[in-house]
Amino acid sequence: MARYFLFGFALIVALAASQFPTYREAYLQRLGGALDEVQRQVTALDARAQAASLERYAYVRRLTGNPDPVVRREGEALIDLLSRRERLGDAIAALRAAPLHYEAVQTLWHLEPDIAAAAFEELTPAIPLSLSGIFHGFIGFFTGLLLPLGIRRLFPRRVVEA
């Protein structure tokens, strides 16, 4: 009976892991959309800076150095916007360059929680016919086999004497 449970558990983990490439693609698309929106906002920032005859960072420094707390907070929000653009661009580049065996690690390393949750909500399971789907399915299957066995070794059965 335990063997059937172990095999069934491994199969479920394999099926879940095989969906990773579909999720990763949806996540990448959402990251790209977020980067497009941030880039649109940076373009608008550049236009405002140019209208004030300033370079982008001089414009932001002027806002953050302003004694008015409202203006200073606006400058800080622009710093956050610029750092988000860098973070999203770096994440997309790293995810696209990741080799097959490192895709999951790179995705977790560059995870944007709000974008990841939105991508997961819209995820539609797919049959894994890609090399990546099959690879992650095999990894999931063996993880599903080894995880219960590892837990069993951590907590061995104790023989109770009567």
Buried/exposed code over 9-42 (b: 16+ C-beta within 10 A; e: otherwise): bbeebbeebbbbbbbbbbbbebbeebbeebeeeb
In a domain, 159, yes or no: no
In a domain, 64, yes or no: yes
State how many domains the chain has.
1
State how far the alpha carbon of 22 is from the alpha carbons of 64, 89, 96, 133, in Å: 42, 21, 14, 8
The residues near 34 (Cβ < 8 Å, ≥ 6 apart) are 88, 112, 115
The residues near 58 (Cβ < 8 Å, ≥ 6 apart) are 49
pTM of the model: 0.71
In a domain, 44, yes or no: yes
* Residue 128, CA atoms < 13 Å, CB-side half-sphere: 21
In a domain, 25, yes or no: yes
Residue numbers of the domain that contains 26: 16-154
pLDDT tens track, the chain, 162 positions: 777 777 787 778 787 777 788 888 899 999 999 999 999 999 999 999 999 999 999 999 999 999 999 999 999 999 999 999 999 999 999 999 988 888 888 888 999 999 999 988 888 877 766 777 778 777 887 788 787 777 777 777 766 665
State how far the alpha carbon of 161 is from the alpha carbons of 106, 115, 158, in Å: 50, 55, 9
In a domain, 7, yes or no: no
In a domain, 2, yes or no: no
In a domain, 38, yes or no: yes
In a domain, 56, yes or no: yes
